[in-house]
Amino acid sequence: MKPYVQMDKKELKAELASLMQEYKKFQAKELSLDMSRGKPCIEQLDLSMGMMDVLSSSVDLTCEDGTDCRNYGVLSGIHEAKVLIGDMMENHPDNIIIYGNSSLNVMYDTLSRAFTHGIMGNTPWCKLDEVKFLCPSPGYDRHFAMTEYFGIKMIPVPMTSEGPDMDMVEKLVAEDETIKGIWCVPKYSNPQGYSYSDETVRRFARLKPKASDFRIFWDNAYGVHHLYDDKQDYLIEILAECKRAGNPDLVYKFASTSKITFPGSGIAALATSPNNLEDIQKQLKYATIGHDKVNQLRHVRFFGDIHNLTEHMRKHANILRPKFEAVEEIFEKNLGGLEIGEWTKPRGGYFISFESMEGCAKEIVSRAKKAGVTMTTAGATWPYGKDPKDTNIRVAPTYPSLDDLKLAAELFTLCVRIVSLEKLI
């Protein structure tokens, strides 16, 4: 089929009429499908059921160093968990704090402490007239929601397939002391699935922020979440690169096993420099006596080592890859050549990002909803929920079954075509 822009009014109208018939057929099916959130599917959760067997009443819950995991203590996490998660994050165990079940909560906690007590002796952010964060966009809606909640002014920075626009990042952080942080999902980014290029990571490590309490919030949520064995993205390890660049304290790096074992019952971690660790731990001790060591031990006993975790991620990939490919295939089949949208083809992570014609995203999501398919709210991938061109839609293919997903993708592309036609007419 030729691009819609090359069609005349009559052709466009005929096409729209025909598609509306299809749309009505979809509506008649009374679907209830969800492509809105990055949730693992049941088959993925089943991969970790063995974790429920590794501890029992006949198993010793003692760490290698003799710590009884059942009792109080060990603020920064048990050593063997730091080794496992360190291997996963590509960081030394000594640079890691193991937290509770949610890396989002670790980020919140980090922000919150910066507000109440300041970073490394700097003025608490709550005492400042203005605090700003750079927000590579589109990005993760929960990052933005949390940032807005704290009253931080968000400045969108354009994303490219290489990462954020580094010219803009470098310029802004160097000249504005009220810019205190930047949100990064550096690998298989949310929602585009882009991984930062070597050049981008190198430039991040060499930032010269005006604010001494500026930190890069490096949310490596999808560090080991590949879709392919043979086509994987590699990321320069940011802590090591910062150290090499003479900027050791620039980064807070976050990760968790939420999408490795069980979301909500995994373990989260922060990796950062010795100075930052000291600053955090001397404060963290007021907030808790320690996190759930039994669950840390459970993860260690289940995986044993990073090799088994890698094999485990291969099983996740085998479940997810067909889903991503099915969506991409349907997008190509139904939208290819029409020039009314573009989509990413990530090698990992949890999302496909769709860019519609300008001013169409909201209407596409609304139309899909009316036929029973829930997408992430249009705009959610931008600070304040405001996508300036109304083009970005996050597609989350992981949770639905393959059949449901195909149906949802068919409907979605149909909605894209209808809304684009309406726009052109």
- Contact residues toward its own copies (CB under 8 A) are 37, 39-40, 42, 45, 48-50, 52-53, 55-57, 59, 61, 68-73, 100-102, 104-105, 108-109, 112-113, 115-117, 124, 126-127, 142, 145-146, 149-150, 258, 262-265, 283, 286-295
Burial of 252 (0-12, 13-18, 19+ CB in 10 A): buried
Distances (CA, A) of 92 to 98, 182, 224: 13, 24, 17
**Separation CA 87–CA 309 (nearest Å):** 10
Which tokens hold the place of 233? Answer: 């993205």
Quick one: 218 or 302, whose CB is closer to its own copies? 302
Residue entry with tokens 């929920």: 385
How far apart CA 107 and CA 105 sit, in angstroms, is 5
CB of 101 to its own copies, least distance (A): 5
Please identify, using beta-carbon distances, which residue of 45 and 402 lies nearer to its own copies: 45
- Which CB atom, from 75 or from 240, has the smaller least distance to its own copies? 75
Min separation Cβ 150 and its own copies, Å: 7
Helix/strand/coil for 256: strand
Closer of 105 and 122 to its own copies (Cβ): 105
Shortest distance, position 34 Cβ to its own copies, whole Å? 12
Closest separation in Å from C-beta 113 to its own copies: 8
Q: Are 393 and 311 in contact (CB under 8 A)?
A: no
Cα–Cα distance measured from residue 352 to residue 397, given in angstroms and rounded to the nearest whole number: 8
| Least Cβ distance, residue 339 to its own copies (angstroms) | 37
Output 40 or 164, the one with its CB closest to its own copies.
40
CB of 32 to its own copies, least distance (A): 15
Q: Is 375 left (phi over 0), alpha (psi -120 to 50) or beta?
A: beta
Smallest distance from its own copies to CB 265, Å: 4
Classify residue 355 by burial, with Cβ atoms within 10 Å: 0-12, 13-18, 19+: middle
Distance from CA of residue 281 to its chain's centroid?
26
The smaller minimum CB distance to its own copies, of residues 38 and 346, is found at: 38
CB of 199 to its own copies, least distance (A): 33
- The identity of residue 279, as a single letter, is D
Q: Which is nearer to its own copies, 86 or 290 (CB)?
A: 290
CA distance 99 to 267: 6
- Which residue, 61 or 306, is less far from its own copies as judged by CB? 61
> How many angstroms separate the Cα of 310 from the Cα of each of 223, 226, 253, 298, 314?
11, 10, 20, 17, 6
